[in-house]
Structure 1
Amino acid sequence: MVERVGRVTSVVRAAAQWWARRPAWTRPAWRRRAGARAGSAWTRGRALAAAAVLTAALLVFHRAVPNTAVGLGSLLESFLPWLGLVVVVLLALALLRRSALALVALLLPVAAWTYLFGPLLLPAPDSGPEDLVVVQHNVSDENTDPAGTARALAAAEPDLIALQELVRPALDVYVRTLAPDYPYRTVRGTVGLWSKHPLTADRTLDIKPRGIEEEWSRGLRAAVRTPHGEIAVYVAHLPSVRVGAGGLASSWRDESAGLLGRAVAAEELNTVILLGDLNGTVDDRALDPLTTRLNVAERGVALSFPAAFPLARIDQVMARSATVGRIRALPATGSDHLPVVARVTRPYL
């Protein structure tokens, strides 16, 4: 009896081994297709690898994406750092698929993102006694707590405070609240500059696009007499952009940026600081008239808009003959923007 059971067991084992090693043509069609799709670690995930290469190409060659009428290039550049999230998603999918091919391909966008944005995450260099601390904030014309906003900005102890969307009666509140610490100010239209140092030669800056017919004043220029020399400070609020089904509508913003860039180029003082809501990121080609003439922040991300869930930094601090060492966002105020604070080093004064 035992011998018969052993013989049956041997036959079953042999049949199982044959079934496992049976020819491919004896297997069901669906199983053959699944096996072909599975492949090896170096053949799985070809689509993921292609997506990784495309992401790297968009990071490195974003200027090659045409702007045309829909503003696709500017739209991509406005959210360029967020391609890092695409890399994270692709990494998770590559690990899930156990695709060595996709993992190797992901080295390309990782390297591109690190090269473009990695330096922003490094520690800021040590500050010096001659540095200027500046605050930039679009306070919103619908801000219901201008006094609280002014106190929050002054708490950062900046040398200069630039504000946009100043309207009455809120403007009077900003003037009263900031006056004790910032005795010098100039307001032109809806933009203003408060300073701890004397202001001279302040004037309206004409950056109004041709298509705007109503009264519109969103730029000023002033000279600031600091203890270490005189500098020119520009405060600007470029026109808004709109994202819709037709793409990015930004022609007024782009024209205004060009006018502002020409004004900066004509500035006679050596050192220039630009503070403003530019309605564009420093990667957006529309701001080339400014970013090709001025230095941008070397450290810090400081996403500033919208305040509820910041996606981009459109509030900028730029400088000529000076370095914007680090920029960071301050806590939310009553505005739909977050304030940003930066330290400006002036090595050439």
Structure 2
Amino acid sequence: MQPINTALCSYGMSGHIFHAPFISVNPNFNLYGVLERTKNETEKHYPNIKTFRSLEAMLSDDNIELIVVNTPNITHYEFSKKVIEAGKHLIVEKPFTTSVVEAEELIKLAKEKNVILSVYHNRRYDSDFLTIKQVLSENLIGELVEAEFHYDRFDPLLSYKVHKEKPTAGVGSLYDLGSHLIDQALQLFGMPNALFADLDSYRPNSKVGDYFDVKLYYPNHRVILKSSYFVREPLPGSILHGTKGSFIKTRADIQEKQLQAGKRPNIKHWGEEPETERGLLHTEKDGKTIREHIPTATGNYMTYYDGIFDAIRNHKNIPVTAEDGMLVIKVIETALKSNEQKKVVNL
């Protein structure tokens, strides 16, 4: 079957680390082109790639079927709209858009143009998240009472990427890191009934949010999503408490580190965490209390791209729908409202 000619809208960290390696080694795709207005960085790694100096030039190339919109958050809507209008399938980096209104318009336009529109929520394919799904599906801790998910860092300095520090729409850790945690929570538990959010910034001279604590209210349990740039000693990435026991897991998916080290996702043992990072399960089983470390699932972001190929060539379900991406933005908008009003807000 004909590989899908794919182009990237930029070759920063997103293109270099999270997209090009998967597209280039997957035989169902051909890394055809990239948008670089002045540089030729991509050619250093992929000599046969075609470099475009403008989005318009890229969109006019009839050989391209799929475009990855991996530009700064505030440009997602503008770029995506042009890609859809050109009749190309597209993947939009998370966060999908800066507002629900923008997301709704793109979804409607994609349906009118009959193109595949997906949001790149790759953290659904992290090893720790896949393990948590397994723990819950097997009812290992009973009925969930509380879950807490962290995405912490120790990074007190402002980013060298100027667009990430300008107080514009779609900027800040709630959009950048929070979108990962929110998508995972929605995948596990669905939309909450209400939420309360405490947002702030603690880095010196920071003008954008770098701290969030969001509590999601479900009928029978609570979910807490937290992130801070001042966590030098890592906390468990996931803490789940149920009526039978608890499960605690580090945030230890190794795929990003493998990619940063120059490894490609076609190597042996890709996405396999070290045994030292196994999650701790303390629960009841067959009438006995057990406390043991359990095996971790293998992470693999390639699963996402395999799903995209099936959606385009075989008309299968889109692995991450635009509607999924829009729900994440809805939660973010509600969190911003909650923080502003200092109260619980219904969804």
User: Structure 2 length as normaliser, TM-score?
Assistant: 0.27
Larger radius of gyration: 1
Structure scoring higher RCO (CA < 8 A, sep ≥ 6) equals 2
What's the TM-score, normalizing by structure 1? 0.27
